[in-house]
Amino acid sequence: MTPWPAHSSILIAGCGGGFDVVCALPLALHLKARGQAVHLSSYSFSELREIEGAEKLNSRLYRVHADCQPPANGYCPELWLCRWWRQHFAEDLSVWCYRRVGVAPLAEIFDLLSERLSLDAIVVVDGGVDGLFLGNEHELGTPETDTASLLAAYTQSKLARYCAFTAFGTEGTNYEVRHADALQRMAELIGQGHGLGVSALLPQSYEGKLYADCLEFIHANLGEQWHSHMAGSILCAMRGGFGEQILSDRCKDAPIWVSPLTLLYWFFDLPGLAEQRPYLQPALKTESVGQIHDLIQDYRHKNQIIPRRDIPC
């Protein structure tokens, strides 16, 4: 496990999509139980401007809390996470939310949060593994928001910077992400000394019990069309699920692959990962996720793509 400094203020940032911060909840619970000051942020998919009661700190940063009201379409997992936290801990929690930002504006947001929250460290958590990728892998999944979060955190050179990946295997059906490509990237990072440890979220653990309770609460308050396959796959694996699983009506035609590997949280040194991005310097100047997409696609067009490889049975 990563050597967290004592009595530090840590921002745990969901990498891309509102439920990545939910996937990060076990880490937040673990650090809170150790007496750390824990803060949460989310690269959100919610309609932030429609959330009644959300505090707008600037044109792109919103503080979502338990007293907010959801947007018209009902989707805001961050809001229900805050309400669950208050219900369970009798404490108010904020999730600092932003969306559709490139690396440069997100770096400014992290600057603001670092000063406001007196941060000592930042941990970017990806529900999935596509945030590991350089760009020449067989299939990439959806790496744009992950890249924005990871590289914006990289700019926070005064902080200890870490990243974590979980829900391994769940992107193989819908996005054709190859497990072999993800494991190769992990192997390279570990061999270079950037690996920091692996932890499993087990159902009998303190963190596992609360994660299950929280996700069930969030899903119960969202329509089934908004249920997270990524976060749900972790819960399914905690309950012994294995193989192709139908987690909701949305995945009837493309079941989600679940295994004990889905429970693992892989921790890495974030600068070690970020500095290997071949498009790092131009990415640091991007204003939007569209620009990040273009950089990644340009790299793919100019380099040989790794052929499809499958893990031996």
* Domain residue limits, the chain: 9-209+263-302
Look at residues 295, 311, 282, 273 and name the one whose alpha carbon lies nearest to residue 130: 273
Residues making up the chain, counted from first to last: 313
What's the pLDDT score for residue 1?
Answer: 45
Number of Cβ atoms within 10 Å of the Cβ of 313: 3
Of 219, 211, 263, 220, the C-alpha closest to 241 is: 263
Tokens of 91: 């404490």
- Largest interatomic CA distance in the chain: 54
Four-CA torsion 39, 85, 229, 235, nearest 10 degrees: 110
pLDDT value of residue 82: 98
CA distance 43 to 63: 12
Residue 142 structure tokens: 């959806």
* Tokens describing residue 144: 């744009």
Encoded tokens for 134? 């350089």
What pLDDT score was predicted for residue 116?
97
User: How high is the pLDDT of residue 241?
Assistant: 95
Are residues 224 and 248 in contact, defined by beta-carbon separation less than 8 angstroms? yes
Please give the pLDDT value at position 4. 61
As given in the structure block, the two tokens for residue 151 are 């590289």
pTM of structure: 0.94
Per-residue pLDDT of the chain in tens (313 residues, 90 and over written 9): 455 666 589 999 999 877 999 999 999 999 999 999 999 999 999 999 999 999 999 999 999 999 999 999 999 999 999 999 999 999 999 999 999 999 999 999 999 999 999 999 999 999 999 899 998 988 888 889 999 999 999 999 999 999 999 999 877 565 578 888 999 999 999 999 999 999 999 999 999 999 999 999 999 999 888 999 899 999 999 999 999 888 877 777 778 889 999 999 999 999 999 999 999 999 999 999 999 999 999 999 999 999 888 876 4
Which helix (DSSP H) or strand (DSSP E) does residue 162 occupy? strand 160-166
